[in-house]
Structure 1
Amino acid sequence: MATSFIRKFVLSSLLLLTPLAVSAQTFVFTAIPDEDETKLVERFRGIADYLEKELDIEVKYIPVKSYAAAISAFRNNQVQLAWFGGLSGVQARSLVPGSQALAQGVEDEAFYNYFIAHKSTGLEKSDTLSKDIRGKTFTFGSKGSTSGRLIPEYHIRTIFEEAPEEVFSRVGFSGNHTRTLRLVEAGTYDVGAINYAVWEKELENGNIDTDEVKVIWKTPAYPNYQWTIRGDVDERYGDGFMEKVRQALLDMDDPELLESFPRSGFIPTANENYAPIQSVAEQIGILD
């Protein structure tokens, strides 16, 4: 009876250990939650399927609730790859030695923002950010977002030589770009900052009431979103794995997958391309 019990215990232990052994070889990635979660899940499940086929390894996408959670998951090796914004990528790579920015969207090499305003403000589109926004209510996106917070705050501070809280009557953080659009469209906030890609995609899909909200300013260009990978992936998945992932991202040409970002394709990038983002973050006190 004792022998039978031991045999059953060993067998059950093996059954428990086997899935863990398989999952240890799973390649996991995430993305900053810059849009509604349902849109992100749909987009990145398709990317997971694509990468699984290209890398010949199990690939899993896990959603996160915040920019900080994406960075934390990357730091703790819960994910090995992430679709970050410029700032979150800089923050994540600083926490994991050897981590590399692999690829960026064609459009991310020279990204930009829109400042948008509700019709009640009377603000019109201009080549400069109108000082008439002073005293209005304003919403950023996420506190850790490059296009939702870092770049807009940089320009506000540069133009007004004051902090946003001194320029506007009320300052908020919507959490993501889609939410910023909806809050300004509804008049909950007078003005907001949104990345142009989200605006253009929503406009193309007929999801913006242009009688209620309009673009009033386009920022100068800056480097933004990128795929960042941990520096220890070759040790875990085999020599050359990092470059294999990079190539898979660069080779992605499925129009449906690219349109979901939306990007026209991916091009190589490197950590040093994001030095301007790091510099701005340090200047305004977001990054130590």
Structure 2
Amino acid sequence: MRYLFAVLALLVSLGSTAADNQRPQFTFTAIPDQNEAELVRRFQQVADYLSKELDVDVKYMPVKSYPAAITAFRNNQVQLAWFGGLSGVQARRAVPGSEAIAQGYEDQFFKTYFIAHASAGLQPAETLSDTLRGKTFTFGSKGSTSGRLMPEFHLRETFGEAPGEIFSRVGFSGDHSRTIALVQSGAYQVGAVNYAVWEKAVDKAEVNPDQVSVIWTTPAYADYQWTVRGDIDRQLGAGFKQRLTRALLKLEDESILRAFPRSRFVPADNDVYRAIEETATAIGLLDDF
């Protein structure tokens, strides 16, 4: 009898394990626009929230670059991603049928700051001027909307020249946090940075106002968004995209929202990013997509 109970207990355990293994796996990623530790903290919270709301196993997969995020999305290693405006357009081109489903409220009115080291002798202004000529300049990532696409668009529109013809040296820091660090250290005289990352760094006293300050702000544009693969319902069941969208839009956890930082998420669709797509096409950033 004891043997029989042991066998039954083993069967129950195996059945429970099998059921656990059959639970759907849902994976997402995000562009690495800040330091990795900050991103892991933020998106592990999102993974835990979505797992509870959707009743699936949700995993956050860190990536090392913007192209790596797009590649993971294209190869179905992830089914959802927190993209910038440009990377979202690129990802949706790579995976036809994919959709932008939600954005931060603030992402409807995004801005880029041009920041400058005190030694550059540049003053805040309402327009870009020839005082920038000959300075050293760093963008963020090559695939960043706020750190590359929009600042380059405005530079070309103002000067009628490519950045390499305006500045004595042009670089790419890789992310917004590094842009701030490079300009603050004087390694570059001027840089383009996501306004939200800048303001968060200021709030955390990571910026020395005697060394670096904002000298110009771009007009507003749409930027970050959650983009989901077009085949998500086929992979995870009918109605999953709708449930996912609803979960993102009703997210009210203050600790998660502060980590972005966003006040809430609002609906989005692909048409919101049409201007981004047109600008990227004009500059030649979609040639490989």
Pick the TM interval, shorter chain. Answer: over 0.9
In structure 2, the residue matched to 1:259 is 258
Task: Report how many aligned residue pairs link the two structures.
Answer: 273
Q: Report the Cα distance in structure 2 between the residues aligned to 1:151 and 1:21, rounded to whole angstroms.
A: 45
In structure 2, the residue matched to 1:68 is 67
In structure 2, the residue matched to 1:191 is 190
| Residue correspondence of structure 1 range 173-188 to structure 2 within 5 A | 173-188=172-187
| Residue correspondence of structure 1 range 12-27 to structure 2 within 5 A | 22=22, 25-27=24-26
Q: CA 1:166–1:18 in 2, change beyond 3 Å: closer, same or farther? A: farther
| Residue correspondence of structure 1 range 87-236 to structure 2 within 5 A | 87-236=86-235
SS in 2 for 1:129: coil
Deviation at 1:265, TM superposition (A): 0.5
Deviations 1:111-148 (A, max 9, x none): 01000000001101111123201100000000011011
Conserved 8 A contact 1:121-1:190: yes
Root mean square deviation, CA, Å: 1.6
SS in 1 for 2:210: coil
Identity %: 60
Q: TM-score, normalised by structure 1?
A: 0.92
Q: Report the Cα distance in structure 1 between the residues aligned to 2:22 and 2:165, rounded to whole angstroms.
A: 54
Conserved 8 A contact 1:118-1:190: yes
Deviations 1:151-194 (A, max 9, x none): 01101111110000000000000000000000000000000000
Are residue 40 (structure 1) and residue 42 (structure 2) matched?
A: no
Q: Report the Cα distance in structure 2 between the residues aligned to 1:164 and 1:20, rounded to whole angstroms.
A: 54
Question: Which residues of structure 1 form unaligned runs of 5+?
Answer: 1-13
In structure 1, the residue matched to 2:3 is none
Moved over 3 A (4+): 17-23
Q: Report the Cα distance in structure 2 between the residues aligned to 1:180 and 1:246, rounded to whole angstroms.
A: 33
Deviations 1:56-77 (A, max 9, x none): 1000001000000000000000
Q: Report the Cα distance in structure 2 between the residues aligned to 1:120 and 1:43, rounded to whole angstroms.
A: 35
Deviation at 1:19, TM superposition (A): 9.9
Q: Residue type of the partner of 1:31?
A: A
Q: Report the Cα distance in structure 2 between the residues aligned to 1:110 and 1:286, rounded to whole angstroms.
A: 22
SS in 2 for 1:45: helix
Q: Report the Cα distance in structure 1 between the residues aligned to 2:19 and 2:113, rounded to whole angstroms.
A: 47
Q: TM-score, normalised by structure 2?
A: 0.92
Q: Residue type of the partner of 2:91?
A: A
